[in-house]
Structure 1
Amino acid sequence: MGVKIFPLPERTVAAYKTASPLHSRSKTHFSNPKNKSKSRKFMAALSFYLLLTWIFLLSLFRARFAEELCHADESSALLEFKRSFRTNTTDRRCVHPKVHSWSLDGSGDCCSWDGIECDAATGRVIALDLSSSCLSGTLSPNTTLFRLVHLELLNLAFNSFNLSSIPYGFGNLSRLKHLKLSISDFSGEIPHDISQLSELVSLDLSTSLPETLHLPNMGNIVHNLTGLKELDLSFVSLLSPIPPVLANFSSLTSLRLVHCGLNGDFPVSIFQLPNLEVLRIAGSLPSSLGNLSHLTSLDLPGNNLRGQIPVSFANLTQLRSLWLSSNNLSGDTLEWVVNLTKLTYMGISGNRFSGEFPSSFENLKQLAVLDLSRNDLHGDIPGTLWNLKCLQWLSLESLNLNGVLDVNDLFKLKSLRSLQLSFNNISFTKSFITATTLKLSDLSLDSCNLTEFPQFIGYLSKLKRLDLPHNKIRGTIPSWMWKNSKESLNYIDLSHNLLTGFENNHTDLPFPSLEYLDVSSNLLETTLPVPPPSVVLYSVSKNFLSGQVPTSICGVSSLAVLDLSDNSLNGTLPPCLGSIAPLIYLNLARNKFSGVIPHVYPDGCALKMINLRENQLGGIVPISLGNCRMLEYLNLGGNQINDTFPFWLSELPYLKIVGLQSNEFHGPIEGHVRQLNFTSLQILDLSNNNFNGKLPSKLLQSCRAMKVTVGQDELAYMDINQWLDLSSTLVSGSMITYAMTLMNKGMKREYVKIPDILMAIDLSSNKFEGFIPELIGDLKSLRILNLSNNFLNGSIPPSLANLTVLESLDLSLNNLEGEIPQQLTSLTFLAVFHVSHNQLSGPIPRGTQFDTFGSCSFEMNEGLCGSPLPNKCTNGDNAPPPPSSFDVDNEEKSLFDLGWKIVLVGAGVGFLVGVMLENLIIDEKSRWFLHYSKRMAKGCQRVRKALADRKICS
């Protein structure tokens, strides 16, 4: 092929001449006629040499450019990133799985792969757009994305990162101008190294999952991002006021801080930013907002606004969108909306507006969306509301409405798609003119005191969502309800009613599009209805279902939540249950299932929760459960499982709750050579089994979550912490909480919701022996500790005083000796303390909680004395005062300060111990026999009396 020759630039020739030694010669050398011929030859040779050099350099550059189309290190990083995720094309955010085109086969040029743009000159990856690419998985802290240091644009929006944290490391991508991580299921704290991206023009970290992402100090993030044009932190919990420095961001055109929980004063100077076009924020409502008469959109939801609406709001006549939802705004009138005749969208739900239901909306002829729910409005719905012909979405939930609604009025709203009337006391007329043209697709009548199904439902041909829980509807479920909508229905909730079955006992449900079905907490007496294959959530718990679970349940290939608990179902469990790929929540508790636990749990098992308690299951715990790496809750209590402790459970990194109580587990735990790592464990219940050997110190030592002090600012509950993505809506996983029964404060307690701060260990009613390890004192967040009814001996470790939030401590029915440590009086939360039926001696501590414990907490310890027991201490009633604080190091130090006399006495005692050691060793078996003979002789009587006492004390 031909080579194009470029002339050498004059600057290059001049530079070459300057650098050449020939240039330093005198001009006379070249002016000499004898030398002219030589000079011409020399210059010709020089020109030819320079030409060859130029051609050679060009060829190098061309070769270099060809090689730089794709750098091996970047294609390797991209492929490794691809391998760390799976693609989920069922996610409704999924548009196209761009990473499917990434391969070294065929075109190995990463610059030609979908979603990737390279610099034309260097071949470096400068843009990575994987938005809506169906990615599903965890973005790890050492993600290979941080090796793409030339990136200027990174877009990971609309994927599913399974509530993983946004990793620290974005500061490495110093050239980034556009960063978008929105609506991708991140959680935790936004890393502060994003502040190092000084070139950023747009930053979007918004989320659709409230309270999952938080930012402690917004100022620390944005102070260095002065070139920002677009900033979106919507639904991110901002834990500090808006920094005034934002008012200096003169390039800012869009600021979105919707539902951020803002506090403090809002910098009013932000309203003066010259280029601001979109403003979605809140703080205190300044009256100066009324001066912005050109505003078309004002969105201030979820930001702790207080007080009344300024009168100046009536000047915002150009407003088309107004959102003030989820604040603390008040007022006894809504007349300020009269002038806002161009309003299309209006939402003021979740405030404290009061008074009669307003009639002022009759002027708002263009309203398409109106949300007045969760206020203190009351009275009848004015007839003028039914004249708003453009209404598509109407929410009047929780407004203390009463009376009978005329269905004919409802049918006047031909464009209405969503009607929310929950939490009112209403009913509907039975006679009406049918209007099959009604477009209503979403009907919510939760807690409306209904006693029968409203008949107009049967005429809704577009209905997708039917929400009727917490009413008083009786009898069978009629088939006429969905005669026109069975093809379209996507969501049905009939829970918490008085329903007894399906009409004509039809358990085959004819809903090809159904994804959500909840008929729990009714009176259903039938066999298990099998839902259609499209169902994602299926709950029929708390009914009277009987019979077996058909294997056809495994054909529900989309099933993520299955709750059949609290029924009378029997037979064996379908072995295919563990193979339902999307299943994350399996609750079969409190039935009559027998046989063994299914053994098939493939790699990639998504289960987070398994509850099989209180059935008749036997066999062993299948080791294949170890494939369920996301498992957080495992409760197998109240069955007939005959197995040793499943040590492999410690390999499950997210496991929080383990319940193996009331089975036939046996053998030691402590002596196992496996390294245990229960880092996330919060509740461990191994009670009422046949475990033996020493208390499992290695297991307890690995419980890192119990060693961290947990705050109590907000009461939260353990749940599956994952959103269910239905085609028509998102369902929060916080609706699906974990439950458990625990011995607490002397009695069984059913936790329908488990508080996030609850930490509990119950090893009672086993055959553990030996000392209570001091290291239990490291588990500072423990609230319940039950070691009762074992063969423990030795003394009560003073380190238990470190368990400062302990509420219940039961050490009864053991062989503990010595005194009750005085340091335990520092446990100010201790409500229950049982040490009865031991061999303790000395005075009972006095003060704080110990003055509230009855005699049954201490009885059957012959050597104990003092109140509340009848036998007095020889040195008086009062025990020595408790130390001001418990400090092992200080106590050990004090031992060295006792003086030389005590040291000599100690040496003498040590000599005597050495002399007696041989006799003690020889006599060990005899003492053991006498000790346990004595225990066996008293055993039955002690247990019976202890159980009787416990009933009295509780």
Structure 2
Amino acid sequence: MGFYLLSLSQFLSSILFLFHFQTTISSSNYSSPSHSCAHDQSLSLLQFKASFSINSSASGYCQHPKTESWKEGTDCCLWDGVTCEMKTGVVTGLNLACSLLYGTLHSNSTLFSLRHLRELDLSDNDFISSHISPQFGQLSNLTHLRLNFSRFAGQVPSEISLLSKLVSLDLSENDNPSLEPISFDKLAQNLTQLRELGLSMVHMSLVAPDSLMNLSSSLSTLILTSCGLQGKFPSSFRKFKHLQHLNLKFNNLTGSIPYEFGQLNELVSIDLCFNAYLRVEPNSFDKIVQNLTKLRELRLGYVNMDLVIPNSLANLSSSLSILALWGCGLQGKFPGDIFLLPNLQVLDLTYNDRLTGSFPSSNASNGLRSLALSSTRISVDLENDFFTNLKLLEVLVLKDSNILRSNLTLIGHLTQLIRLDLACNKLGGQIPSSLKALASNSKLTGEIPSSICKLKFLLVLDLSNNSFGGFVPQCLGNFSNSLSHLNLGMNNLQGTIFSKFPKGNNLVYLNLNGNELEGKIPSSIINCANLEILDLGNNKIEDTFPYFLETLPELHVLVLRSNKLQGFVNGPTTNDPFPKLRIFDISSNNLSGPFPTEYFYSLAALMAYDQNTVYMESIYATSPYSIRVTWKGFETEFEKIQSALGILDFSNNNFTGEIPKLIGKLNGLRQLNLSHNSLRGQIPLSLGKLFNLESLDLSSNLLTGRIPQQLAFITFLAVLNLSHNQLEGAIPSGKQFNTFNASSFEGNLGLCGFPLPKDCNSSKAPTLQPSNFHDGDDLTFFGDGFGWKPVAIGYGCGFVFGVTGGYVVFRARKPAWFLRLVEDKWNLKARRTKKNARRNGVRRN
């Protein structure tokens, strides 16, 4: 899937009704020459205005604060966004789209007193999760109602069905409001004149797909993206003879697209992508391509088409501008005539690995803006004809494709390029000095030319997993403030990191992992205020710990592993360091000194377990972000990063001191690796509080004492390595400890019991008891009490002092002196105890 395809789809969905509203409401300054605005209408509008503030972040697609022109004592029919009836002066149209309105829309709003309204547009504002008021049902003259993209929430009220004159209704892209089956049925039955319906991201999982058949037969536009619809695809669409735009993507529809679909000969666009269990039968598809002569956009990504013969596509309309059939299971020869369609702008056939054919470079549609043939066997020649004919290309995605010949010296003709992916190909030849190729995973060689910095439209630059060598062009840090995604990882790049990151840049992802970069980490990186992922691992960077990175407010991932960082890590230098950091990897460096305990007071993002299963990804790239870390003992490249993933890896350094008990507060940790340091003391009981931990490695330290039995209650713990320490006693038995082998405990001469061959003789392994510590219990969380050694020492000293003192007293016969001595010492101890209690009380607060 190409960037252009995704962005165009989202853009068209967002503005589908915009053109109609522009023609019907845009004459906002029109009023009757003989009649000004009615006083009650003006008053209602001013009160409505007063109930909201103007907030620059309240509108996203556009910004036009229309209510700022609303002034008391002026004719409201001349105000921005207001349309009046010619004779009476009543307000009939209100277009407040993109007006930066911020606040709650209450049911007693004076908006609902404007009973003559026929057209109302409140789209693209921020009503901060206001519920859609039932009072909308009182505006019975409404023909057009747009409440999309304005953060409405709650249930869609059944009173919407009272608006029987509605021609256009759009409630899309809000805060997941829900529509119950009974309310949908009323809406479908009563809105008999409805022609345009947009309910994208309105939760409708309980609405049966067949209920859609009850909608008005006048429908020309139906957009139900991401509504949670589930069940069999509606059996018939025959009644919708006027349907032009149909979008049901990102649902859970099943079954087959009905044969009658081919009778909807007014259809202009079809989007059924991401309905994984939906399929197209050959006879139905043949009917679609033969009869739908007006079709311009056909998107069937991940719809099963494995029985469809590709040659049947040759009958598609010559008006076709977008064809997206990724991951459809197509097999056989793709008809070359499709490439020649004169209006074709977007072609995406990715992930059809049995699709063959040949792309005609010389006479392909020169209007193509996005071409994606990844993971197909369609042959392509990247030579003169290709580059000179397709100068409008913005996206070229040929990852793991069938490139026969290439002459990348000509790629400079693609001046509009936003993204180029030639990954996983076997391209050869000399890399020219003018090369601007952006290719991941293919083994391109040569140097990255500084001329690449002339691509001012570039949003995503990915040169990773190649064999590029030489020095990194210093201009890469500041050649474009638009650049969001920069990946040069897994090459052979030398020199230093580009040092100039300008203020105001848009960089979100920076990956330089797996090169031979030297020098220091540039401090100008703090200008990357939007940076979420920074991976500089596996280089030769010689520096101290870069404290300035603490100030990056959006940083989620920091990987500095396997470099030559040295010196102490003294702890935070700011009040709120790393506020969003969830992956912190400084392993395999030369860092030393006391373990940086202070950081564990401030890693707020790791203190809460995030159950979110989404993956971090660029809105501009079609693939998620990737990083390289050690995961469960193996170096692993995460091709996508789950937003809930929590990793601390301080291994292979020379940190000293004890493991802080406060580490038990980091509930979001999934992996903790402190191995190969010089840590002493006991394993904190508080580690047993990390219930989401999957991997724990404390090996090759100087840890002493017993293994806390609480660790057995970490039910997700799959990897445990406590080897090569100085632990002693019986290994806890039961639960997770039954799953670990001897290698988890080897090199601890004092340990015994399963799974080690050494028997504990008469000392049985301790029976597991339920964990008895609680959140906020300072006695268990911050300290483990006294051991037997200090008690024995105290007992012995007390015995000697008592016998000696008693002998002196009775020999000198001065019991009063002894009593005064003891009394003074007791009073001093009591005063100290009270002071310590007050101090500890303050600390707990």
Query: TM-score, length-normalised on structure 1?
Result: 0.65
Residue 458 (structure 2) pairs with residue 559 (structure 1)? yes
Find the counterpart in structure 2 of residue 632 from structure 1: 532
Residue 726 (structure 2) pairs with residue 839 (structure 1)? yes
Deviations 1:693-746 (A, max 9, x none): 22112222211110111115xx322223x34xxxxxxxxx4x242222222222
Counterparts in 2 of 1:841 and 1:474: CA distance versus 1, 3 Å? same
Find the counterpart in structure 2 of residue 136 from structure 1: none
| Deviation at residue 175 of structure 1 after TM alignment | 7.4
Find the counterpart in structure 2 of residue 718 from structure 1: 616
| Higher mean C-alpha deviation, range 764-773 or range 361-370 | 361-370
Residue 733 (structure 2) pairs with residue 815 (structure 1)? no
Deviations 1:851-872 (A, max 9, x none): 1111121122222222112222
Amino acid of the structure 2 residue aligned with 1:440: L
Q: 1:280 aligns with which of 191, 198, 221?
A: 198
Find the counterpart in structure 2 of residue 747 from structure 1: 634
Counterparts in 2 of 1:241 and 1:909: CA distance versus 1, 3 Å? farther
| Deviation at residue 846 of structure 1 after TM alignment | 0.9
Deviations 1:661-714 (A, max 9, x none): 1112112113565545111001111111121122112222211110111115xx
| Deviation at residue 813 of structure 1 after TM alignment | 1.0
Find the counterpart in structure 1 of residue 385 from structure 2: 480
| Higher mean C-alpha deviation, range 274-283 or range 516-525 | 274-283
Instruction: Please give the alpha-carbon distance, in whole angstroms, between the structure 2 residues aligned to 1:173 and 1:239.
Output: 14
Deviations 1:259-308 (A, max 9, x none): 88867525111231588664334642455845844444444444333445
Deviations 1:198-218 (A, max 9, x none): xx9543249xxxxxx999x88
Q: SS of the counterpart of 2:746?
A: coil
Retained in 2: the 8 A contact 1:297–1:320?
yes
Instruction: Please give the alpha-carbon distance, in whole angstroms, between the structure 2 residues aligned to 1:914 and 1:887.
Output: 40
Map of 1:407-806 to 2, 5 A cutoff? 407=336, 416=341, 438-446=342-350, 447=352, 449=354, 453-455=358-360, 458-472=363-377, 477-483=382-388, 485-497=389-401, 499=403, 502-503=406-407, 506-528=409-431, 539-580=438-479, 581-670=481-570, 674-675=574-575, 677-712=577-612, 715-720=613-618, 722-723=619-620, 733=621, 735-806=622-693
| Deviation at residue 643 of structure 1 after TM alignment | 1.4
Retained in 2: the 8 A contact 1:521–1:543?
yes
Identity of aligned residues (%): 32
Residue 73 (structure 2) pairs with residue 121 (structure 1)? yes
Find the counterpart in structure 1 of residue 170 from structure 2: 256
Instruction: Please give the alpha-carbon distance, in whole angstroms, between the structure 2 residues aligned to 1:467 and 1:913.
Output: 86
| Deviation at residue 914 of structure 1 after TM alignment | 13
Counterparts in 2 of 1:684 and 1:874: CA distance versus 1, 3 Å? same
Find the counterpart in structure 1 of residue 282 from structure 2: 356
Q: SS of the counterpart of 1:279?
A: strand
Q: SS of the counterpart of 1:616?
A: coil
Find the counterpart in structure 2 of residue 144 from structure 1: none
Map of 1:35-184 to 2, 5 A cutoff? 116-119=68-71, 121=73, 155-156=97-98, 169=103
Instruction: Please give the alpha-carbon distance, in whole angstroms, between the structure 2 residues aligned to 1:556 and 1:393.
Output: 26
Q: SS of the counterpart of 2:656?
A: strand
Retained in 1: the 8 A contact 2:400–2:424?
yes
Retained in 1: the 8 A contact 2:515–2:538?
yes
Retained in 2: the 8 A contact 1:759–1:784?
yes
| Higher mean C-alpha deviation, range 695-704 or range 441-450 | 441-450
Find the counterpart in structure 2 of residue 50 from structure 1: none
| Deviation at residue 600 of structure 1 after TM alignment | 1.4
Residue 267 (structure 2) pairs with residue 336 (structure 1)? no
Amino acid of the structure 1 residue aligned with 2:366: S
Q: SS of the counterpart of 1:541?
A: coil
Counterparts in 2 of 1:688 and 1:363: CA distance versus 1, 3 Å? closer
Task: Provide structure 1 residue ranges, at least 5 long, that are not aligned to the other structure.
Answer: 1-73, 100-113, 130-151, 158-165, 179-199, 207-212, 417-437, 724-732, 916-954
Instruction: Please give the alpha-carbon distance, in whole angstroms, between the structure 2 residues aligned to 1:442 and 1:672.
Output: 50
Instruction: Please give the alpha-carbon distance, in whole angstroms, between the structure 2 residues aligned to 1:201 and 1:577.
Output: 48
Instruction: Please give the alpha-carbon distance, in whole angstroms, between the structure 2 residues aligned to 1:329 and 1:236.
Output: 27
Retained in 1: the 8 A contact 2:324–2:346?
no
Deviations 1:217-238 (A, max 9, x none): 88x4535665675554658999
| Deviation at residue 517 of structure 1 after TM alignment | 2.0
| Higher mean C-alpha deviation, range 398-407 or range 614-623 | 398-407
Retained in 2: the 8 A contact 1:374–1:398?
yes
Amino acid of the structure 2 residue aligned with 1:222: S
| Deviation at residue 762 of structure 1 after TM alignment | 0.6
Instruction: Please give the alpha-carbon distance, in whole angstroms, between the structure 1 residues aligned to 2:181 and 2:236.
Output: 19
Instruction: Please give the alpha-carbon distance, in whole angstroms, between the structure 1 residues aligned to 2:681 and 2:769.
Output: 22
Retained in 2: the 8 A contact 1:507–1:528?
no
| Deviation at residue 789 of structure 1 after TM alignment | 1.0
Map of 1:241-252 to 2, 5 A cutoff? 242-247=156-161
Amino acid of the structure 1 residue aligned with 2:424: S
Instruction: Please give the alpha-carbon distance, in whole angstroms, between the structure 1 residues aligned to 2:738 and 2:604.
Output: 33
Counterparts in 2 of 1:300 and 1:691: CA distance versus 1, 3 Å? closer
Find the counterpart in structure 1 of residue 759 from structure 2: 872
Amino acid of the structure 2 residue aligned with 1:555: K
Retained in 1: the 8 A contact 2:616–2:625?
yes
Counterparts in 2 of 1:613 and 1:116: CA distance versus 1, 3 Å? same
Counterparts in 2 of 1:326 and 1:840: CA distance versus 1, 3 Å? closer
Structure possessing the higher radius of gyration over alpha carbons: 1
Residue 267 (structure 2) pairs with residue 305 (structure 1)? no
Find the counterpart in structure 2 of residue 46 from structure 1: none
| Deviation at residue 548 of structure 1 after TM alignment | 2.4
Find the counterpart in structure 2 of residue 936 from structure 1: none
Retained in 1: the 8 A contact 2:332–2:355?
no
Retained in 1: the 8 A contact 2:419–2:461?
no
Instruction: Please give the alpha-carbon distance, in whole angstroms, between the structure 1 residues aligned to 2:145 and 2:701.
Output: 63
Instruction: Please give the alpha-carbon distance, in whole angstroms, between the structure 2 residues aligned to 1:794 and 1:127.
Output: 74
Find the counterpart in structure 1 of residue 42 from structure 2: none
Retained in 2: the 8 A contact 1:531–1:556?
no
Q: 1:270 aligns with which of 187, 203, 223?
A: 187
Instruction: Please give the alpha-carbon distance, in whole angstroms, between the structure 2 residues aligned to 1:677 and 1:571.
Output: 35
Amino acid of the structure 1 residue aligned with 2:519: G
Q: SS of the counterpart of 2:615?
A: coil
Q: CA RMSD in A?
A: 4.6
Find the counterpart in structure 2 of residue 883 from structure 1: 770
Instruction: Please give the alpha-carbon distance, in whole angstroms, between the structure 1 residues aligned to 2:800 and 2:664.
Output: 32
| Higher mean C-alpha deviation, range 553-562 or range 230-239 | 230-239
Counterparts in 2 of 1:665 and 1:486: CA distance versus 1, 3 Å? same
Amino acid of the structure 1 residue aligned with 2:122: L
Retained in 2: the 8 A contact 1:823–1:885?
no
Counterparts in 2 of 1:573 and 1:399: CA distance versus 1, 3 Å? closer
Instruction: Please give the alpha-carbon distance, in whole angstroms, between the structure 2 residues aligned to 1:874 and 1:760.
Output: 39
| Higher mean C-alpha deviation, range 308-317 or range 854-863 | 308-317
Instruction: Please give the alpha-carbon distance, in whole angstroms, between the structure 2 residues aligned to 1:626 and 1:384.
Output: 52
| Deviation at residue 526 of structure 1 after TM alignment | 4.1
Q: SS of the counterpart of 2:477?
A: helix
Q: Which has the higher contact order (CA 8 A, sep 6+)?
A: 2
Q: 1:853 aligns with which of 716, 722, 740?
A: 740
Amino acid of the structure 1 residue aligned with 2:746: E
Retained in 2: the 8 A contact 1:314–1:339?
yes
Counterparts in 2 of 1:173 and 1:363: CA distance versus 1, 3 Å? closer
Instruction: Please give the alpha-carbon distance, in whole angstroms, between the structure 2 residues aligned to 1:641 and 1:309.
Output: 57
Instruction: Please give the alpha-carbon distance, in whole angstroms, between the structure 2 residues aligned to 1:311 and 1:301.
Output: 19
| Deviation at residue 769 of structure 1 after TM alignment | 0.7
Instruction: Please give the alpha-carbon distance, in whole angstroms, between the structure 1 residues aligned to 2:281 and 2:800.
Output: 88
